[in-house]
Structures are given as structure tokens and as C-alpha cells.
Amino acid sequence: MMPQIQLSVTRPGSSPCLDTVAEEVPVAFEYNGIAHTVMLATPADLKDFALGFSLSEGIVARRSEVFDIVIEEAPEGITLQLEIAGGAFAQLKERRRSLAGRTGCGLCGAESLAQVMRDLQPVAERSRFPLDALYEGMRLLPTQQTLQQTTGAVHAAGHVAADGSISYVREDIGRHNALDKTLGARAVADAKADGALLITSRASFEMVQKAAALGYGILAAVSAPTAAAVRLADKLNLTLVGFLRGSGCAIYTHEQRLLRTTT
């Protein structure tokens, strides 16, 4: 299934023409044959999505607990069939929940406050990260947003290194999905939780939670954070940056992790 299609569109004052539109399809997650949740997502980088979601939601603790991922397409949508370790599956059944997957809410369907407020360890301190690298990473990010360039309808997430280079850029109509895809792609590559994560959206509570769950210490967003995101980032020792645009930003938590070199 392609992540985009072409449709006829009419604009005032011009003849009908073709327009490229992003796909949005139901993507169902099954663990060891048992249905878990359905998310609306862009049908691209689905194995990255499956692994990233499983890790960031705490369904598995490490990549090695996912034995296989099978993608099954059907007229009504896509099913991601994951085979996971017995211990992880037993824990999943213990805290089983039904998420109503939506592009705008990452916590819909949680059945208790305990499921929302996961018990995560604070992120470990690492060497200081150049603030200039964040600026350069966000400057370069649009050059790799190929689906956004053609449709104008998707979010992106990516990883930026200390030299400002970006990699593992993934796109999706859902901002949480895009971040999960990036996290999954880095997990597939056995990449360390270093550098920083960039997102082309607001920084909400669950975005902070996903980043911290995999040990990343810096999350930088092009838009604003929520108050809940700031409180959680502070608690989890995560550096949260918002309004990252051009050569400006707002640093909300743990500023000590960033090395300022710009005058």
C-alpha cells in the first residue's frame, strides 16, 4: 500500500488537476495472535512503527524480545502481527488495555491513571550537546520530509547528532506514530540513545514519555510543549526544547545538558 495517492482536485479559477494526498489507514497491532490496538497511520515504515511502538509503550523492554513482525494487508486496513517473548506477552496480558487510536491523542482509551503515569527511570546524564546542532538539525529536517513536500499533511521525527547531521527521519499523519517510527528505526540499527530527537509538532506528555522510555535525553519540537510535558520532562531528567526555529528556541527543562556556542 502506497503512503500517498493522486486525486483530482478543483481550485477556483483553474481547471481540475491532480493533487497528491497522504493515505490514512487503520493499522492493527496483534501480539502473539491477540489483538491489542488499532491506530490510524501512514502505511510506510511499518516495521519501524511496530518495533518503536512496542518499545516506547513498554510492551517489550528490548528489541530482542520481538522475534518476528509480519505485515498483512487487507481491504479494510493493515495488521502488524508481532511475535514477542513469552514474558513480555504475559505482562501485556496483565495490564491489557484497549486504545482508541487517533492521530491527535496518544492516551485515548487508557483505563486507569496508572496506565498513563508509567514508572520510568530518569534519563542518564551524558556529555553536553551543542545547541547549534539542534538549530542545524531542524534546518535540515525539511529536506528529508519527502512526503510532507508532496502532500503537506504529515508530521516528521528524526535524530540529530552532535555535528548537526540528521538521520532516521520518518513521517506519518500522526505525530506519535512518526516518533515511534524513528525510535523503531534506531532500535533496528542498534543505535545508542544519544544525540537528540526532533519533532515537527508540539511536545506533549506522551512524546516526552516515549523519548524517555528509550533513554533519550533531549527532545526538541518546532512548536510549544504542554505543561504536563514540561513537568514530566523535569521529573525524568529530560531536556525539553520548544519553538526550535531558525536560531531561536525555548529551553524548558534541564538546560545544563545543552552547550551554548552561539552568541
Contact yes or no for 73/57 (Cβ under 8 A) = no
End-to-end CA distance of the chain: 48
Measure the CA–CA gap between 65 and 59, rounded to whole angstroms.
9
Measure the CA–CA gap between 115 and 100, rounded to whole angstroms.
14
Measure the CA–CA gap between 51 and 33, rounded to whole angstroms.
16
> Of 41, 43, 52, which is closest to residue 2 (Cα–Cα)?
43
Give the active site residue among 17, 105, 108, 249: 105
108 noted as active-site residue: no
Measure the CA–CA gap between 28 and 56, rounded to whole angstroms.
17
Placement of cell 514508572 in the chain: 119
Active site residues: 105
